[in-house]
């Protein structure tokens, strides 16, 4: 799968580790920065990742900041994006199954790397459930 990834300074360390993990799994990863721990503004990296996904250049997006909250707020402003801030594997599964999320935002400061790996596993392997969930997701997308 082609995946765009990005972070701010607070998510940089885990972004690097998660990028390596995704590559180990055989995914093609597009890195939209940041590229060091120098302080940056998270929307500057959320938007390029969200645009890659919205334009169909990448299938999924992964964003990491201190909490994941700012990244979700910014990514969800891009038309076509369904981003959620996820801090456990069960929510990762449900954000795919019920909400068809195409971008996941993670916490680099409050969630351990091993847990974020499990979260990504669930995010990348769970299909959208469709059915009763499809109309609800359509109603969200009509708000774009």
**Binding residues for ligand RB5, per CB under 6 A?**
8, 10, 42, 65-67, 69-70
Q: Using DSSP bridges, classify how beta strands 28-31 and 60-65 pair: parallel, antiparallel or unpaired.
A: unpaired
Residue whose CB is less far from ligand RB5, 27 or 62: 62
**Ranges of H-type helices in the chain:** 12-24, 43-54, 69-75, 89-97, 113-125, 132-141
In a 10 Å sphere around its CB, with 0-12 CB exposed, 13-18 middle and 19+ buried, how is residue 93 labelled? Answer: middle
Residue whose CB is less far from ligand RB5, 3 or 65: 65
What amino acid positions are annotated as catalytic residues? 65, 98
Residue whose CB is less far from ligand RB5, 42 or 123: 42
Closest CA to 89 of 115, 60, 119, 69: 119
Compute the least distance from the CB of residue 129 to ligand RB5, in Å. Answer: 29
Compute the least distance from the CB of residue 112 to ligand RB5, in Å. Answer: 16
Sort residue 80 into left (φ over 0), alpha (ψ -120 to 50) or beta. left
Compute the least distance from the CB of residue 73 to ligand RB5, in Å. Answer: 7
């Amino acid at each position: 799968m082609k995946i765009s990834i990005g972070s701010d300074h607070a998510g940089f360390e885990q972004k690097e580790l998660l990028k390596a993990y995704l590559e180990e799994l055989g995914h093609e990863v597009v890195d939209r920065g940041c590229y060091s721990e120098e302080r940056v503004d998270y929307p500057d990296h959320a938007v390029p990742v969200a645009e890659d996904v919205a334009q169909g250049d990448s299938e999924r997006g992964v964003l990491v900041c201190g909490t994941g909250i700012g990244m979700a707020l910014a990514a969800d402003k891009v038309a076509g994006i369904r981003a959620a801030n996820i801090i456990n594997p069960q929510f990762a599964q449900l954000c795919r199954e019920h909400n068809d999320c195409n971008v996941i935002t993670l916490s680099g400061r409050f969630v351990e790397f091993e847990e974020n790996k499990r979260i990504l596993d669930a995010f990348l392997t769970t299909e959208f459930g469709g059915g009763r969930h499809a109309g609800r997701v359509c109603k969200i997308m009509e708000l774009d």
